[in-house]
Amino acid sequence: MHLARFPRVRLAHLPTPLEPLPRLSEALGIDLWIKRDDCTGLAGGGNKTRKLEFLLGDALEQGADTLVTQGAVQSNHVRQTAAAAAAHGLKCDIILEARTGSTANDYLNNGNVLLDRLFGATLRTVPRDTDMVAELKTTAEEVRARGGRPYVIPGGGSNAIGALGYVDCAREIVVQADELDLPVDHIVTATGSAGTHAGLVAGLAVMGADIPVLGIGVRAPKARQEANVLKLAHQTAALLGRPDAVTPQMVVADCDYVGEGYGLVDEAVIEALKLAARTDAILLDPVYTGKAMKGLIALAKSGRFQGETVVFLHTGGAQGLFGYQGELEGAL
């Protein structure tokens, strides 16, 4: 697993801390630690920064001058992509999908959207259920028509190149755990566009580190999510020269905590946000980490992790809280 063979631009503050959560552990009755990928630094941090190190490296090697990507209106990935482009003098064309249907002013103009604009990205919004792959292709063609050289990044930065960022994170977790003499029984993370989950699975498999990863789904049903993660984990392992390292048994997603849909907040998500903030002062986001923590809390209370040491991978996104004022107002 020699990642130096791949083009890479250093964007993140690494390694991110691996820290205990003593008060939340006490509340849940498990030994809970947190991998602080909300502290990667770029544009306030988040998991996409690790992916963008390899994606931007590939883009610059190909001579691109414009990054083209897509996401939901309050996308953390979009924010970090816009920041990476600004930091390296590239243009950034973004397609935002009105995925939640929210028309609230804060959702449409505050939080991540405000930061996208601050970084100078060009934004275009399309309706929910638009074919985003086709929109990426159309936008790339428009960039070429005006004389630009586009580099298309899929939603979430989730392809095999982007997933290398979480191969590296898997290595980092194992090294830190060994230094702390910490036997990790489970890694729990949000799973959405699949790149973070797939990269962790591929990295751990290639290293031979027998640590199961549980993805808490934020959008798709279980069968579809696991299929997406498995496909990308296979592709990532193949990129590393180990196509047979990943098995289907390594990919597990629990999609019982999505609620009414992607980006839609329910009472249990708000309670998860409050519990993390009021025990160990951890800021989660309403879309990914809030739902992952909602799932972790429910599973811990059911006895799922009894006697285990669990690492919760914090993928960032607290900037999105400011787009959800209406949902949170009165609940805090």
The residues annotated with a catalytic role in the active site are: 75
In terms of C-beta density within 10 A (0-12 exposed, 13-18 middle, 19 or more buried), how is residue 75 classed?
Answer: buried
Residue 247 neighbours by CB distance under 10 Å: 12
What is the helix (H) or strand (E) element at residue 87, kind and residue range? helix 76-87
Q: Alpha-carbon distance 84 to 81, whole Å?
A: 5
The residue among 153, 86, 140 whose CA lies nearest residue 115 is 86
Kindly state the tokens that stand for 240.
């590393």
174: left (phi over 0), alpha (psi -120 to 50) or beta: alpha
Residues 6+ apart with CB under 8 A from 190: 196, 215, 216, 217, 218, 288, 289, 291, 292, 313, 315
Distances (CA, A) of 205 to 1, 2, 43, 159, 210: 11, 14, 31, 18, 7
Give the residue carrying structure tokens 């990919």: 251
Kindly state the tokens that stand for 257.
């905590």
Q: Please count the residues of the chain.
A: 332
CB 38 within 8 A of CB 46: yes
